[in-house]
């Protein structure tokens, strides 16, 4: 498992009597796009809060790029890029200032300017570098968040429902962009979503429901296991919940 950039081993987390995560295990390999598919309340954001060290799991173990999150926290977190469910950009600061602040937090020093310019070039926002984030479209704001998450060149990118609030074209563009990134950089990606159409091109899909991991397989294998023709059917069979797509509920 030397290629794994994320190892989650039997992690549980309760809020009072509610078991939000129940002995969840998963891994992400270098260059692998893993989709974490689950309806609202499945425990996706709770898992992300554990992976980013905001909460400590009740039981279990997390390793990021071979570093134990509990014992080697700063090395583990240095290998992690994250885009949270809620945007954490400062809308009144310029695009460049948002990126520079993150670079300082990661102690990037002199390398920062060059890396910021390279990321802005990659996302096609060089001309907006000195505009406040507020002036950008939702899709471009998300791209800035991805660029920021990648500035310190992490091994693992976490994205928590990153397409919420975007129009269908921007959603598709963001998904394609992240697929390209992981191929180009050998980046491991864990992409959380409740939308079945966002997981079709994933290398593996992990289905999470009520805090439990119900399945972990390629999209094709998942349909095979569920005996269904498509992922929406597999999702319904596994979870008993109505599958949702960008366009709404699958009928």
Query: Would you say 119 or 160 has its CB closer to Mg ion?
Result: 160
Residue of 106, 113, 43 whose CA lies nearest to 77: 106
Helix (H) or strand (E) run with residue 98 in it: helix 95-105
Distance CA 42, CA 36 (A): 10
Can residue 38 be called a binding residue for ligand ADP (CB under 6 A)? yes
Per DSSP bridges, beta strands 204-209 and 212-217 are antiparallel
| Position closest to Mg ion via CB | 45
Angle between helices 219-226 and 231-239 (to 10 degrees): 50
Can residue 17 be called a binding residue for ligand ADP (CB under 6 A)? no
Residue 41 contact, options ligand ADP, Mg ion, none, Cβ 5-8 Å cut-off depending on partner type: ligand ADP
| Tokens at 211, concatenated | 């805090």
Output the furthest CA–CA distance in the chain (Å, rounded). Answer: 55
Least spacing, CB of residue 42 vs ligand ADP, in Å: 4
Query: Would you say 119 or 198 has its CB closer to Mg ion?
Result: 198
**Burial bucket for residue 131 (CB in 10 Å: 0-12, 13-18, 19+):** middle
Query: Would you say 42 or 195 has its CB closer to ligand ADP?
Result: 42
Can residue 87 be called a binding residue for Mg ion (CB under 5 A)? no
Distance CA 246, CA 167 (A): 9
| Tokens at 190, concatenated | 């864990």
Query: Which residue in 4, 7, 37, 46 binds ligand ADP (CB under 6 A)?
Result: 46
Residue 60 contact, options ligand ADP, Mg ion, none, Cβ 5-8 Å cut-off depending on partner type: none
Residue 15 contact, options ligand ADP, Mg ion, none, Cβ 5-8 Å cut-off depending on partner type: ligand ADP
Helix (H) or strand (E) run with residue 21 in it: strand 18-29
Identify which range of 22-30, 43-51, 163-171, 237-245 contacts ligand ADP by CB under 6 A.
43-51
Can residue 45 be called a binding residue for Mg ion (CB under 5 A)? yes
Query: Would you say 116 or 196 has its CB closer to Mg ion?
Result: 196
Point out which residues bind ligand ADP (CB under 6 A): 15, 18, 20, 38, 40-46
């Amino acid at each position: 498992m030397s290629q794994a950039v994320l190892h989650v081993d039997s992690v549980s987390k309760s809020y009072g009597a509610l078991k939000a995560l129940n002995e969840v295990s998963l891994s992400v390999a270098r260059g692998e796009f893993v989709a974490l598919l689950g309806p609202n309340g499945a425990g996706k954001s709770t898992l992300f809060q554990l992976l980013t060290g905001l909460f400590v799991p009740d039981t279990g173990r997390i390793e990021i790029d071979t570093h134990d999150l509990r014992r080697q926290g700063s090395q583990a977190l240095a290998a992690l890029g994250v885009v949270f469910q809620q945007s954490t950009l400062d809308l009144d600061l310029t695009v460049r200032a948002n990126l520079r602040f993150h670079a300082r937090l990661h102690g990037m020093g002199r390398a920062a300017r060059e890396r910021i310019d390279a990321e802005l070039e990659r996302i096609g926002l060089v001309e907006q570098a000195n505009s406040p984030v507020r002036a950008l479209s939702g899709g471009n704001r998300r791209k800035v968040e991805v660029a920021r998450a990648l500035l310190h060149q992490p091994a693992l990118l976490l994205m928590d429902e990153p397409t919420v609030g975007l129009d269908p074209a921007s959603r598709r563009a963001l998904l394609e962009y992240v697929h390209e990134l992981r191929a180009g950089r050998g980046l491991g990606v864990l992409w959380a979503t409740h939308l079945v159409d966002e997981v079709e091109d994933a290398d593996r899909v992990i289905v999470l429901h009520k805090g439990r991991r119900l399945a972990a397989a390629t999209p094709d294998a998942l349909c095979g296991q569920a005996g269904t023709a498509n992922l929406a059917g597999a999702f319904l069979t596994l979870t008993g919940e109505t599958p949702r797509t960008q366009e709404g509920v699958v009928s």
